[in-house]
Amino acid sequence: MIEMIEAYDLTAVQWLIVLLCAMLVGMAKTGLSGVGLMVVPLLASVFGGRPSVGLLLPILVFADVFAVSYYNRHAEWKYILRLLPWALIGVGAGVLVGQVISDIVFNRLLAVVVLTGIVLMILQDMRKKASVPDYWWFAMGLGLLGGFATMIGNAAGPIMALYLLSMRLPKNIYIGTGAWFFFIVNVFKVPFHVGIWKTITVQSLLFDVLMIPAIALGALLGIWLVKFFPEKAYRIFIIATTLFSALLLF
């Protein structure tokens, strides 16, 4: 084990950053979703942009397993099935253009979309309207954008949060629905990272396995913390952390 750790040639600070990222992913997947996007720039600072995307994906899948194991009975599959076909198409588009698109421009466009959606959602809450945007084009647009964002940079969290918050789902259903959606999409992405982008290798996968204890700790911490949030406070927390995550994309 010690030899394996030494083989990655990371400083103590870099190891702390990576372990923190693994914990944050675990927390994000079990209810504190807004903190997850902070992992993207942190890992990129250690490994670089594209390698960090491939390194992060198995960590996300491991955390998804914890999330679906705990929240599986709370999933609303009708919302997953509305988004999933469009999201998979978005992943395919991300595979095709991921080699040439500017990450900076894409992240800024993504941030503008998310911030605009959050503003509209807050305005809707202030007007105390109970209606939800239950339109086919709403699911299609966010599904395509979410699939594209998750393939390019594992950055679909704010988009999924926007969609599920707009559906006004209760706390546990929000978490369970998101957990299953991302588990399916993340597993779908793995072959593209292995065979086309070649950002997942045996060595990177072994590194991800080392992160499982930190992921589990974060997942348990997330489950514990979510229990203290009333429904309204949880919605406000997710909006606030999603807003912060979107600002990080700039």
Torsion sign across C-alpha atoms 169, 173, 176, 181? negative
* Type of residue found at 192: F
The radius of gyration computed from the CA coordinates of the chain, to the nearest angstrom, equals 17
Say how many domains are in the chain: 1
Alpha-carbon distances, residue 197 vs 25, 60, 191, 194, 200 (angstroms) = 23, 18, 9, 6, 8
pLDDT value of residue 7 = 62
Distance, CA of 77 to CA of 82 (rounded, Å): 9
Distance, CA of 164 to CA of 146 (rounded, Å): 12
pLDDT value of residue 219 = 95
pTM: 0.85
User: Which domain covers residue 20, as residue numbers?
Assistant: 2-248
pLDDT value of residue 57 = 95
> Between the CA atoms of 95, 38, 236 and 234, what dihedral angle is there, to the nearest 10 degrees?
90
Rounded average pLDDT per 10-residue block, the chain, 250 residues: 62 92 94 78 79 90 95 91 95 84 66 69 63 75 89 82 85 93 96 90 92 96 91 84 73
**Can you list the alpha helix ranges (DSSP code H) found in the chain?**
2-7, 12-29, 39-47, 49-71, 77-97, 103-126, 136-153, 157-166, 171-195, 202-210, 212-226, 231-248
